[in-house]
Amino acid sequence: MKKLYIIGAGGFGREVLNWALHCKEQQSPEWEIAGFLDGNVKALNGFGVNASVVGDPNSFVPSEGDLLLCAVGHPATRLRLCTMLEERGGSFATLIHPTVVMGLHCHIGEGSILCPNTVVTTNVTVGKHVIVNVGATLGHDVVVGDGSTLNSHCDVTGGASLGKGVFLGSHAVILPRAKVGDFARVGAGSTVLRRAVANTTVFGVPAKRIPRIE
């Protein structure tokens, strides 16, 4: 039996623990939850979590039989941690909640997390270490780059593409065939009509670039 370590013991990490337990109950994966990896050993104090922080991801060295799952919401931080642990030989689980609806010819990359009630329609490609949070929808032929975060109830519609490390706030909408560049951030409730340029933050309906303040 393999050991599953959840990277990040914050709020989303605690949610992922619940989704992992649901998978354990209904899908019987060949792993047991070993605990959390977090730099704050007290991160779980006061939450009644039946698991503990057992190490720091920055110093953790995976052993054979260990599986990792990164529950850090910030895309760049998640990609940094996952790359570092992969270079140390780490292997990542892919978590697909039992309530996920998934059509034919979809590919979900290693280390990705699909939370409850998400819908992945058909011919969708999701990269590695992607988070698709509760109730989000990915339409036909959508492409999602590595390390992206789609928060709850996002709607990425047919033929749209998200680059690497994209962050979508809750209820963001990406219209058909629109493109969101690498590490762009789309604000909660915003709608991208055609394009969001890489490394920018956009907000509103339609989504417009917010000037960066140094």
pLDDT digits (tens, 9 = 90+) for 82-101: 999 999 999 999 999 999 99
Specify the pLDDT at position 3: 96
Given a cut of 70, whether residue 214 has pLDDT beyond it is no
Specify the pLDDT at position 29: 83
Domain identity same for 122 and 81: no
Single out the residue of 182, 202, 186, 212 nearest to residue 76, CA to CA.
Answer: 182
Cβ pair 122, 105 in contact under 8 A:
yes
Give the gyration radius of the chain's Cα atoms: 17
- Does residue 42 fall inside a structural domain? yes
Residue-wise pLDDT tens digits, 12-34:
999 999 999 999 888 888 899 99
Residue 200 maps to which CATH number? 2.160.10.10
Specify the pLDDT at position 113: 98
Q: How far is CA 55 from the centre of its chain?
A: 21
Given a cut of 60, whether residue 200 has pLDDT beyond it is yes
Domain identity same for 168 and 70: no
- Does residue 214 fall inside a structural domain? no
Q: Which residues pair with 119 in a beta bridge?
A: 101, 137
Residue-wise pLDDT tens digits, 106-136:
999 999 999 999 999 999 999 999 999 999 9
Domain identity same for 82 and 140: no
